[in-house]
Amino acid sequence: MSTFLEHQNWRYATKKFDTTKKIATEDLNILKEAIRLSSSSYGLQPYKVIIVENPELRAQLQPAAWGQSQIVEASHLIIFANETNIGDDAIDSFLKNISATRSTPLEDLSGYGDIMKSNISKLTSEAKNIWTAKQTYLALGNLLNAAAELRIDVTPMEGFLPAQVNEILGLDKLGLNACLMATLGYRHIEDATQHYKKVRKSTEELFITL
């Protein structure tokens, strides 16, 4: 079997973490880099990734996440927060980054900038939010894959109330919205879920070949 598929079969959404095990800084840095390198539409990365280390903050966040124990028991909690007001400023800053990174004159990028600005400005505020939130799922996917290779467990989590999380972390003021969470660490030996068989659609059911 390919190593990639072996990792996929090893990983599962962990329900109970071992509170005695912490992710080493070196491994955390690899995971952060996997998130940073994630693909996004146009390359805009319209989100922030918040790593909550403060235990008091995590205890405050737990009730906003249906009391799920992973929020306080995992080694690390990551919150993906999409930009709520994406517009010309974000695009200009992206263009400056391309120009500096690739030593390309800013003027040469104006056509690309105009396309992005025109397409994004046509979206309603709700559509912009949905679109920026979608980009975070790609980063989550990369995080899941990178972590599995390092034998680090990750639980992707949508089971929380964004409004409450935004309030606790003051995200509204920053033009951000908590749309996705991930808890990271090491599975507890008593987490029965690790022994469950994977439930997935069959290849025949999932794929359509035309």
Binding-site size, ligand FMN (CB under 6 A): 10
Tokens of 159: 């089971």
- Residue 25, Cβ neighbours under 10 Å: how many? 7
Determine, following the binding rule CB under 6 A, whether residue 198 of this chain makes contact with ligand FMN.
Answer: yes
Determine, following the binding rule CB under 6 A, whether residue 12 of this chain makes contact with ligand FMN.
Answer: yes
Q: Pattern 141-160, binding to ligand FMN, x per CB under 6 A?
A: --------------xxxxx-
Burial class of residue 22 in the structure, from the number of CB atoms within 10 Å of its CB (0-12 exposed, 13-18 middle, 19+ buried) = middle
Q: Which residues contact 75 (CB under 8 A, 6 or more apart)?
A: 17, 21, 22, 23, 184, 185, 186
Q: Of 7, 13, 63, 92, which one interacts with ligand FMN (CB under 6 A)?
A: 13
For residues 186 and 15, the answer to whether their CB atoms sit within 8 Å is no
Distance of CA 65 to the CA centre of its chain: 16
Name the residue with the smallest CB distance to ligand FMN.
Answer: 159
Determine, following the binding rule CB under 6 A, whether residue 186 of this chain makes contact with ligand FMN.
Answer: no
Least distance in angstroms from the C-beta of 114 to ligand FMN: 34
By beta-carbon proximity to ligand FMN, the closer residue of 43 and 159 is 159
Least distance in angstroms from the C-beta of 107 to ligand FMN: 41
Q: Which residues bind ligand FMN (CB under 6 A)?
A: 12-13, 15, 68, 155-159, 198
